[in-house]
Amino acid sequence: MSRWVLHVDLDQFQAAVEVRRHPELAGLPIIVGGNGDPTEPRKVVTCASYPAREFGVHAGMALRTAARKCPDATFLPLDTAAYDEASEEVMSLLRDFGHPVEVWGWDEAYLGAEVDDPVELAERIRTVIAAETGLSCSVGISDNKQRAKVATGFGKPAGVFMLTDENWMAVMGDRPVDALWGVGPKTAKKLAGMGITTVADLAATDATTLTSAFGPTTGLWILLLAKGGGDTNVSAEPWVPRSRSHVVTFPRDLTDRGEMTTAVTELAQRALAEVVAQDRIVTRVAVTLRTNTFYTRTKIRKLDEPSTDQAVITAAALRVFELFEFDRPVRLLGVRLELAPPPGGY
C-alpha cells in the first residue's frame, strides 16, 4: 500500500450551512458576512454561494460591492456557533475513517492514509459527509499537503482530483506561479521580474538563482513547490492555538486617540478572556494598525513575565499602541496575544 495525503475541503461552507437550515435558499445566491446588512460599511464577504460567485462576488469583497454586483442575493450574518458545530460534525466523521486527521480550520482538513485506492477512499468520504451532514466537499489527492491542496481546486465543487508526479507538470506547467499554494502576489511579482512566470519556468530555474534572490529557505521551498513537492506529514495531534486575536474595522475612520485607546483596551480584554478560558498564558502582546490609506503595521513586545492579569495585558497593549505614529486617520485596530506552549508543548 502507498501512503497518500487527502485534502478535504467543504464546498461554500458557510453558505452551505445556511442552506442546510434554510432549505428554501438552495440554488440561490447567498452572501454571508458581517451582520448580514449589505449597507454596513467596511464589512466584507466571508463566503459566497456558487450562484453568487457567478455574479463576480468573492470572499474578501466589500458587502456594498457584493450588493451592487448581485442585488438579488440573500445576505446573512456570520453565525460562528453554527459553523463550529457543523465543522465538528465533519471532523468527527473524518476521524471515524481510522486515519490521522489534521484539522486546518472550519472547512478543511488533511487525512493521511496508507491505502491501495485513494480515489475510492475519497469518494467514500464525500458520500459519508453528504449523507450524514447534508454538506458537500471536494477532495484533493497527492503524496504531500501542498500538492493535495492544489488538487482540491481542480475537484471543486463536490469532486475528486489527483495530482502526482505523473501528471503534475502536464496539469500545472503552463499555469502562473501563484497557482502554487504558498506563492503569493509579492513573490509572483518578483519572479516575473526575473522572467519566471509559469510553474514550468520556476521548476526549471537553477536553485542558486532562487536562493540568491529569495534566500536559502524561501528559494529552495518555492523550487520544491514548483516541482510538486511539499510537506508529507499529517499529524493527528489536536490543534493547539499559539495566539488569540481580535480585530475591528471601524465604520468611520478614527482620529481621536481616546476612541482608539478604548478600542485597544476592549480588544485586549476580549482576547484575554478566550486565553483564560483555555487555561493558557500570555507571553507577548501585538497591536496592528491600519490607516485610511491602507498602510498596515504590526508592533509586538514581550511581557516581562508570562501573565493573564488583565491590568498587565491591557497596559502592555496600550504601551505597544503608543509606539505608532498617528499621522493619518485609523481604519482598523487589532490586538494579538501570543501564548506560552501548553504543558505538552505544541
Query: Three-state SS for 50?
Result: helix
Longest dimension (CA), the chain: 64
All residues at 6 or more sequence positions from 85 whose CB lies less than 8 Å from its CB, including other chains: none
DSSP string, 129-157: HHHHHS--EEEEEESSHHHHHHHHHHH-S
Is residue 290 within 8 A of residue 331, CB to CB? The reply is yes
CA distances from 145 to 2, 15, 31, 168, 225 (A): 15, 26, 29, 14, 11
Nearest alpha-carbon partner for 130 in 98, 160, 100: 160
CA distances from 315 to 262, 295, 299, 338 (A): 12, 25, 15, 15
Is residue 214 within 8 A of residue 310, CB to CB? The reply is no
Residues in the chain: 346
Residue 108 appears among annotated catalytic residues: yes
Nearest alpha-carbon partner for 224 in 205, 251, 203: 203
Cell matching residue 344: 505538552
Given the residues 89, 108, 114, 338, the one annotated as active site: 108
Nearest alpha-carbon partner for 235 in 101, 52, 38: 101
CA 299 to chain CA mean position, Å: 22
CA distances from 331 to 66, 95, 288, 294 (A): 20, 42, 11, 8
Q: Which residues are part of the catalytic machinery?
A: 108
